[in-house]
Amino acid sequence: MAGRRAAFGLIAAGLGLVAGPRGAGAASGRYEAMLLNCIDPRFTTHGLFHMAEIGLRDRYSQFVVAGGPIGAVHPHFAAWHDTFWQNLAVSVQLHAIRRVVAVTHRDCGAARIALGEAAVATRAAETAAHAGVLRAFRAAVGERQPGLEVVAGVMDLDGSVERVG
C-alpha cells in the first residue's frame, strides 16, 4: 500500500493534480500555517501530501531542520533554537500565519541522537518520546507566539500521521 501511495503521489504531483488549483493562496502573501519538519528526504513528499490532506496545499511556509520540532526545542540542538524562533516570528509577521504544523517522524536519526536509543527502541517508546517533545514544542510556541495553534503529529514511514494532543 505504501509503495502504491508513493507512486501515485509522485505521478499526481508531477501532473499537478493534488488538492485543487495551484497557487490558490500564494498571491495574497497570507498563509494559514508553517510546517516544521525534518530534513530526512524520505519524508519530503509525505510532508507535501500531508499538508494537502489537511487542506493547506500552497497555504503554508516551511522550516526544515534535523528532527523538525525536536531540533527546535531539544537542548542537544540549542544552537538552532534562536534561528527557528526568529523564523517563526517573521512568518507570523509577513504571512499572518495562524498555526504551526509540527511533524516528527519514525526512524528519525535526530531523535535517536537527542533522545537516546532507548527512547526509540520500540514503537510505543518512540511514540511516547515524540509526544513528549511535541508537548514541549507546543508549550514553547505558547510562550513565544501565544496566538498560534499547534497541530502536532508523528509521521510513519508510509506518510500517515498520528496526531499528538
Closest residue by Cα to residue 160 from 43, 14, 35: 43
User: What pLDDT does residue 150 have?
Assistant: 98
Dihedral-angle region of residue 75 (phi above 0 means left; psi in -120 to 50 means alpha; beta otherwise): alpha
User: What pLDDT does residue 3 have?
Assistant: 53
Give pLDDT tens digits for 77-130: 999 999 999 999 999 999 999 999 999 999 999 999 999 999 999 999 999 999
- Do the bridges between strand 99-105 and strand 161-164 make them parallel or antiparallel, or are there none, so unpaired? unpaired
- Phi first, then psi, for residue 61 (nearest 5°) are -95, 175
pLDDT of residue 45 exceeding 60, the answer is yes
End-to-end CA distance of the chain: 27
Closest residue by Cα to residue 55 from 94, 90, 96, 24: 24
pLDDT of residue 159 exceeding 70, the answer is yes
- Mean pLDDT of the 138-158 span: 97
pLDDT of residue 22 exceeding 50, the answer is no
- Residue 46: how many other CB atoms lie within 10 Å: 24
- Is the CA virtual torsion 40, 144, 98, 131 positive or negative? positive
Rounded to whole angstroms, the Cα distance separating 129 from 116 reads 10
Torsion angle of alpha carbons 1, 164, 45, 6, nearest 10°?
A: 0
What is the Cα 142 distance to its own chain's centre? 17
pLDDT of residue 20 exceeding 60, the answer is no
